[in-house]
Amino acid sequence: MAGRTIRRGVGPEHVSAEFREFWAERRPGILVTPRRDGSSHAVPVGVTLDIEAGVARVICSRGSQKARNVAAAGPDGARVAVSQVDGRRWSTLEGRAVLREDPESVADAERRYARRYKVPRVNPQRVVIEIVVDRVLGMG
């Protein structure tokens, strides 16, 4: 992540070992979703990144504002960004987010979250915000 980088998509052929490590280290992110009035809603989140699939995931409760914002965008999803900062190092992932509620998607996202952070508390209202990443920004 040396220097400012902007690239389309995220995939194994596009990222450095430093980028992989940065998105694997235990640290919170900030998710920005659009509200119905067009303003931005920014909130701290735990986020996982599947570099091979180019997908970031955030687990949350169905009734949370972030989940409602993504759901309100409809089947085409909402344009969102999720960022991490560590001193002078930072990275932002941008893409289209959809809400996943099926048990398989939720269980997969919970396993990924547990590997990066800790086993999440039991939450029968859990859903997954799934972001197909199409743009990556960063500074080393």
**DSSP 8-state class, residue 5:** E
The answer to whether domain 5-139 has CATH 3.40.50.970 is: no
Amino acid identity of residue 47, one-letter, is V
E strand intervals along the chain: 5-8, 29-34, 40-45, 48-50, 55-61, 78-86, 89-100, 126-139
pLDDT tens digits for 45-101? 999 999 999 999 999 999 999 999 999 998 899 999 999 999 999 999 999 999 999
Domain ranges of the chain: 5-139
pTM for the full model?
0.90
- 13 or 104: which leads in pLDDT: 104
Given pLDDT bands bounded at 50, 70 and 90, which one contains residue 25?
A: very high
Residue 27 is encoded by which pair of tokens?
């640290």
Give the closest residue to 10 by CA, choosing from 52, 73, 70: 52
Q: For residues 10 and 93, is the Cβ–Cβ distance under 8 A? A: yes
DSSP per-residue string spanning 126-138: EEEEEEEEEEEEE
